Copies of this chain bind each other. A is one copy, B any other.
């Protein structure tokens, strides 16, 4: 199963099987049950996670105690609070499993050591972050440029499998909508 990470590395660089066998021990496998919490707001952000199987979301609680999701991670995605991870500070976000999930997880120290020993991986992480940041700009365009209804239907049309897989209230939370609003526009579309 960890071979998935090998294939993902090789999407962006050429890595030998032998090197991957040396890289793998930097990681630990972690298994989470649905709803299990991986990272909790207020704690130090010490780990970065690569999803082998399953789905996670990162969220914060607003003043009313409502969860607002800022990112998801499914198979082959990385997830952490990147700024807190980079600066080794406490995080304001929590990460929780949306489904039963298997991860490869790495500590900040070990990732630093890994990048020193295998500097060719810098290209891989540069590309991953470049894509993530580019996608965040596009998300901003939708949030600022579309009506709430358009945001929802645009998202579900662009990512149909994802929209089927993840509970509606989490998609609503990710798009800055209320679950009630999403039920309403879905009912309107069906009628």
Taking Cβ atoms with an 8 Å cutoff, the residues of A that contact B are: 58, 60, 62-63, 68, 70-71, 81-86, 92-93, 115, 119-120, 122-123, 125-127, 129-141, 143-145, 176
Contacts and interface: CB of A to CB of B under 8 A. Distances in A.
A118 B120 CA distance: 12
Q: Taking the full assembly, how many copies of this chain does it contain? A: 2
Given A58-B137, A83-B135, A93-B137, 6 more contacts: A68-B141, A68-B144, A81-B134, A82-B130, A86-B130, A119-B122
Contacts of A145: 60, 62-63, 68
Nearest to A60: B141
Contacts of A68: 141, 144-145
Main secondary structure of the interface of A (DSSP, over half): helix
Nearest to A173: B144
Given A123-B119, A126-B122, A144 B176 contact: yes
27 contacts: A58-B137, A60-B141, A62-B144, A68-B141, A70-B137, A70-B140, A70-B144, A71-B137, A81-B134, A82-B133, A83-B137, A86-B131, A86-B134, A92-B141, A93-B137, A93-B141, A119-B119, A119-B123, A122-B123, A125-B130, A129-B130, A129-B132, A132-B133, A133-B136, A136-B137, A143-B143, A143-B176
